[in-house]
Structure 1
Amino acid sequence: MATLQERKTHRRAILEALYGAVEANRPDVSGATLGDDLALPEADLAAACAYLAGEGLVAVEWTSHKTPARATLTHEGIRLMEAEEEERGG
């Protein structure tokens, strides 16, 4: 079981990866790619995606095994990431 800090780190990494995909004109990312690129175990990836989906920040297509097949930022997710980028002076 991941610690609270690890769970927050996983969620942040997913948001940043999906935002990078949006910036590169790739509207969604496969769950396998997210897991591989971020080196996240399947259970941690699924838990983080479920949390972010519950917050309305990402949309997830789930496999029959309850793992993310594809994920994309929602409009709210993009707005959040853009606001954070502006705060950093980007």
Structure 2
Amino acid sequence: MATLRERKTYRAQVLQALYEATEGNRLLGVAGSRLRDDLGIHEEDLAAACTYLVGEGLIAVDWATGNTPAMVTLTHQGIRLMEAEEEERG
């Protein structure tokens, strides 16, 4: 089981990877398997991160059998959060 620090890191990585891959476009998504492979996250940890981010209204997920993220997209709220973070970084 992942520690709290790891879980927070996974969530941030998922958001950042989605934002970069979709260039902030709500109409584009990323396959869960691609996120898992690109980020090197165990499937259970990816599912937990996605579940949390869905609950926060930051992403939307199409789930496959076994509670596996099949397709993941940013919501409007998720895009706004990532844009605000990008502006802060300059």
The bucket for the TM-score relative to the shorter chain is over 0.9
Aligned equivalent of 2:70: 69
2:33 is the alignment partner of 1:32: yes
TM-score, scaled relative to structure 1: 0.94
Unaligned runs of 5+ in 1: none
Give the Cα separation in 2 of the matches to 1:10 and 1:24.
Answer: 19
The residue number in structure 2 matching 1:9 is 9
C-alpha distance in 2, partners of 1:6/1:71? 20
Q: How many residues align?
A: 89
Distance 1:24 1:74, change over 3 A: closer
For residues 72 and 49 of structure 1, what CA distance do their matches in structure 2 show? 10
Matched letter for residue 17 of structure 1: A
| Secondary structure in structure 1 of the residue aligned to 2:73 | strand
Alignment of 1:17-56 (within 5 A): 17-23=17-23, 27-56=28-57
TM-score (norm. length: structure 2) = 0.94
Q: Please state whether the residue corresponding to 1:27 is helix, strand or coil.
A: coil
AA aligned opposite 1:10? Y
Q: For 1:18-55, what per-residue CA distance to the aligned partner results, in whole angstroms no more than 9, with x for missing partners?
A: 00012186710000000000000000000000000000
Residue 87 of structure 1: aligned partner: 88
Matched position secondary structure for 2:28? coil
Gaps in structure 2 of 5+ consecutive residues: none
**RMSD of equivalent CA atoms:** 1.3
Task: Extract structure 1 runs of 4+ deviating beyond 3 A.
Answer: none
